[in-house]
Amino acid sequence: MEPLTNLTTCINNVSAASRTQMLSFVLGNFAALTVCRNLLVIFSIIYFRQLHTPTNYLVLSLAVADLLVGVVILPFSIVLFVSPCWDLQDVCLLRSVFDYALCSCSILNLCLISIDRYYAVCHPLMYRTKMNASFTAILILIIWIVSISCGIVMARSGQKNNSRCAFVFGLSLGSITAVTAFYIPAIIMITLYLKIFHVARKQAQSIHSMHTSEAVNKMERKATRTLVKVMGVFLLCWTPFALCITFLPLNNFNVPLAAMEVFKWFGWSNSMLNPFIYAYFYSWFRCAFRIILSGKIFKGKYTNARLY
């Protein structure tokens, strides 16, 4: 039986949750928007042949991970927000596995996209000969296997022996989680994008008089800037939570649960914002989205349509 103090806290939490129905409605719309936006990206890449490129296959993997965040993690977290006294420990463990695995997979996909862009810009000959659909599929498979395996290990290692479903499992493993799932990928992305900027600047200076090459180079630089903005959004979304769980043990775990929830929702918002970045900065994605949302795909065959 739970101590009386825990039971009182639980009752108070339930009473507080009953006064947050509007917030639950907002979070529900947030989850629905995450699902719809990523479905749009997934369908666009699968349907339009022009989008069948190695880079977009990585984007597809990212969209699938973000979609599952909206389908699996966010609804469960909303239920947990409304009913904080959840007592199904096995279900909570499963939720923790999905949380770590999918968020890690999303971040690792962003890291892999930065590596793809680095080789495309800095080593174009090597990129054209080695970066094909088969090799990309192998990389994506490795990322998913590693993410799921780490999710299982981290969730089970951080499991607590109580009947409450904690919002964040394994707080004592926060530093390890932050290093493996945030700091290392972030350092890799920042390093590669700095090298890309350096190479792109040298290319622009050497071929500025060649109009055709300049146009191609301008397109590459635009794609690179877009991916930098993707990384910038990623840093804004995940840095607060990563810093929080890094210094949590040093603060004797005194960070309020409400603050942890806010920081984690900021992190999950990255899964909702990524599709918006594609739609806003990539002209071919904007064109694909317009064709889909206007219903034109139901009136004709646009698989081979030229996306501008």
Q: Is the residue at 304 inside a domain?
A: no
Q: Whole domain around residue 187: which residue ranges?
A: 21-298
Return the H-helix or E-strand segment holding 302: none
Residue 66 pLDDT greater than 90, yes or no: yes
Q: Is the residue at 102 inside a domain?
A: yes
pLDDT at 10: 47
Half-sphere exposure of 172 (CA within 13 A, CB side): 5
Structure-token pair, residue 155:
């969730």
Q: Is the residue at 16 inside a domain?
A: no
> Are the CB atoms for 54 and 131 separated by under 8 Å?
yes
Find the farthest-apart pair of alpha carbons in the chain and give their distance in angstroms, rounded: 78
Return the H-helix or E-strand segment holding 213: helix 211-247
Residue 30: which CATH number?
Answer: 1.20.1070.10
Is the whole model's pTM more than 0.95, yes or no? Answer: no
pLDDT at 145: 95
Lowest-confidence range among 104-113, 121-130, 205-214? 205-214
* Confidence label for 63 from pLDDT (cuts 50, 70 and 90): very high
Residue 31 pLDDT greater than 80, yes or no: yes
Helix axes 257-281, 89-122, angle to 10 degrees: 40
Number of domains into which the chain is organized: 1
Rounded Cα–Cα distance for residues 262 and 255 (Å): 12
CA angle 263, 74, 58 (to 5 degrees): 90
Residue that the structure tokens 């994506």 belong to: 140
pLDDT at 210: 53
Q: How far is CA 161 from CA 94, 100, 172, in A?
A: 15, 19, 14
Residue 195 pLDDT greater than 80, yes or no: yes
> Are the CB atoms for 157 and 170 separated by under 8 Å?
yes
Q: Is the residue at 13 inside a domain?
A: no
Residue 40 pLDDT greater than 50, yes or no: yes
* Confidence label for 259 from pLDDT (cuts 50, 70 and 90): confident
pLDDT at 20: 65
pLDDT at 232: 83
Q: Is the residue at 291 inside a domain?
A: yes
Q: How far is CA 18 from the centre of its chain?
A: 30
| Contacts (Cβ under 8 Å, ≥6 apart) of 137 | 57
**114-172 per-position pLDDT tens digit:** 899 888 888 888 888 888 889 999 999 999 999 999 888 877 775 554 444 555 544 55
Residue 245 pLDDT greater than 70, yes or no: yes
pLDDT at 2: 37
Taken in order 290, 296, 302, 303, the sign of the CA dihedral is positive
Q: Is the residue at 307 inside a domain?
A: no
Residue among 63, 75, 80 nearest 30 (CA):
75
Q: Is the residue at 5 inside a domain?
A: no
| Contacts (Cβ under 8 Å, ≥6 apart) of 113 | 55, 58, 59, 62, 227, 230
Mean pLDDT, the chain, integer: 78
* Confidence label for 64 from pLDDT (cuts 50, 70 and 90): very high
- What percentage of the chain exceeds 90 in pLDDT? 27
Q: Is the residue at 7 inside a domain?
A: no
pLDDT at 85: 60
Residue 238 pLDDT greater than 80, yes or no: yes
* Confidence label for 86 from pLDDT (cuts 50, 70 and 90): low
